[in-house]
Amino acid sequence: MKPSHPESPPLRIVIVGNGMVSHRFCDELSKAKFDQKLKVDIFGEEPHPAYDRVHLTDYFKNPSPETLSLGNSDWYSRKGYKLHCGLRIEKIDREQKTVIDAAGQSHPYDKLVLATGSYPFVPPIEGSDAPGVFVYRTIADADAIIRHCEGKSSAIVLGGGLLGLEAANALKELGLSATVVEFANGLMPRQLNQDASLVLEQQIRQLGVTPLVGKGAQKIERSNDGLLVSFNDDTKLLTDILVVAAGVRPADQLARDADLNLGARGGIIVNDQLQTSDPSIYAIGECALHRGQIYGFVAPGYQMAEVLADQLCDGSKTYQGSDLSCRLKLLGIEVSTFGDYLGEGRTLVHRSPTSYRMIVLKRDCFAGGTVVGKWDQTHQLQLAIKEERFMTPSEQAAFEKDGQIPEGDALADWPNNAIICNCTQTTKGSLSICISSGCKTVSSLGKATGAGSVCGSCRPLLAQLCGESGQEAAYRPKGRKSLSTTATVALLACLGFLLLAAFPEPQSVQTLYFKISKLWHESLYKQVSGYSMAGLSLLALLLSARKRVRFLRQGNYGWWRAAHAILGTLCLATLVAHTGLDFGKNLNLWLMSCFVGLNLVGALAGLSIAMEDRFSGPWSRRIRSLVTKAHILFFWPYPVLLGFHIYKAYAY
């Protein structure tokens, strides 16, 4: 952009839409080097500023807009932008170069950016407008679903694609049993072939979600017991709530009314500069149709936002399309597709009960791939496809046998934002900075960043990155025997609390039992044991924070975990001295129940961890995850109840 006169008016940019792509464009715009001032107005239909729609499921755990917020009104103000929330743009006047909002106000523009996104597609099903039928797209949709699900137990999701599986996960978070119905013959039909879909079906069924494929809903009827859904195979299902997640369509009505060029099946046609048929109007994100392609993921929209910000600065960047590769985590299950994953070529497949891995080869070079289930080589596969690496016949045979690809020296070529340590989310870039600063061993990298100090599975990668070899790469959490023993003792102690009656009152003051009973009767002893138990609990909490607090990352993680279990067992022993196994009443009963429950599920979590080498598979992982989450859940009310207990002891 040519230098302008100091008195020249600012460039007026109007952005219609305030979603994730719009927010990224605003951010990129603030970083761009403009030669004149900007006057930026952003209009969003929703009452909330831009939020992370990709993680809408998290809203069901914590229904607050701040959970997903990308930037509040102050964020826009600091950048000099004016945000209009809850205000819809009704019309574009291309001749006057203005937009008219729902209140009838006119807003002039020099450049207009359409980032209107998409809207949920509802198939023409009889009864789809009945009470209890919802779509899954916005915070308002989530709020409506949460309100309706109170006291409900069952749900059906129409659509087995990405959106449908996310909706099923959200309903599962609300405690409902979810059934996913997909018209195609497999889940995620746009990304997965039938074999991969079958593995995904098996995985989500083990997680408590029922998949039904090859079925289409024909009619929805309201009954006294809920909603009765009739399908094309003459079957019927009764449910409390039905969520339609059958895909989205580009929100292009505003452009259609303005006579901009649209695709035959919708979408605002844009060129490589992201201009529409009107050179002053641009489109980015899910509403844009570029070279016949509409992208349904946020990453291409972010790339468009970066290109457009450069374009408005008279930069040279153009949009050449985006890779359709994706890495997703649906219901905790990893699903990835890369390159030409549905293209023609030779396919190599490795299948197990819990995973599916497929590589597409063209002229014996990596061309595409599909992964369902956890695999520590997923990123290496993505890189091999990007570089079109050659795969020898022996490597092909090895992959089909054991499901692994040769690592080679690819780690040095990984991008800086690649995650090396999943436990601490440490990237290759952070590790490279530490290496250049003098960290030359796995241990020194762990001390500097925390990488490799938790589960240790990334230590071979750390060794490769810093050029170290030998036993440093080998790492196993220690203390499993101590953990197993202590967890067993804690479990038996908790069962004793639940099954045994309180210690009886002493019959004579001359017995040894009378002296022992003073521990749970006399105030001084009770204060000592009570504060000891509180201190041990605090120390156990401090040990559990080892993953997140860098200065605590000393020694082997397994020993710290065993120490956490030992402290919990000592707490139980102190509780015996404090209460004499008497749960008490009212507040005391709540506190005792919470504390015993906390230690009971903690003991189960410890046993599941200690025996993970002996018992593996999805069920064992699921049990470990459930008891660990329950352990954390029981801890939340504990400090509050303990605080009230201490206050009551001194105030009354």
Strands (E), 410-454: 419-421, 426-427
So what's the pLDDT on residue 616?
A: 44
Sheet holding 217-223, edge to edge: 217-223, 226-231, 236-239
Helix axes 459-466, 442-449, angle to 10 degrees: 110
Residue 409 pLDDT grade (very low, low, confident, very high; cuts 50, 70, 90)? very low
Tokens at 76, concatenated: 């826009």
Tokens at 121, concatenated: 């597609």
Tokens at 594, concatenated: 């919470």
What average pLDDT does the segment 243-254 reach? 96
So what's the pLDDT on residue 413?
A: 58
How many Å apart are CA 443 and CA 639, to the nearest integer? 36
Lowest mean pLDDT among 480-489, 519-528, 610-619: 610-619
Start-to-end C-alpha separation, the chain: 75
What average pLDDT does the segment 268-277 reach? 97
More confident residue, 255 or 539: 255
453 φψ region: left (φ > 0), alpha (ψ -120 to 50), beta (else)? alpha
Q: Taking the alpha carbons of 260, 261, 267, 270 in that order, is the dihedral positive or negative?
A: negative
So what's the pLDDT on residue 618?
A: 42
So what's the pLDDT on residue 360?
A: 94
Pairing verdict, β 133-135 and 346-352: unpaired
Strands (E), 373-506: 419-421, 426-427
How many Å apart are CA 170 and CA 129, to the nearest integer? 21
More confident residue, 156 or 297: 156
Residue 59 pLDDT grade (very low, low, confident, very high; cuts 50, 70, 90)? very high
- Please report the domains of the chain, with CATH numbers, ordered by start residue: 11-119+249-312 (3.50.50.60), 133-246 (3.50.50.60), 326-412 (3.30.390.30), 414-473 (1.10.10.1100), 480-651 (1.20.1420)
155 in Cβ contact with 239 (< 8 Å) = yes
So what's the pLDDT on residue 554?
A: 55
Strands (E), 313-382: 326-330, 333-339, 346-352, 355-362, 365-372
The helices-and-strands tally (H runs, E runs) of the chain is 20, 27
Percent of the chain exceeding pLDDT 90 equals 45
Nearest to 34 by CA among 309, 319, 317, 316: 309
So what's the pLDDT on residue 6?
A: 54
So what's the pLDDT on residue 612?
A: 58
**In terms of pTM, does the model score above 0.85?**
no
Percent of the chain exceeding pLDDT 70 equals 88
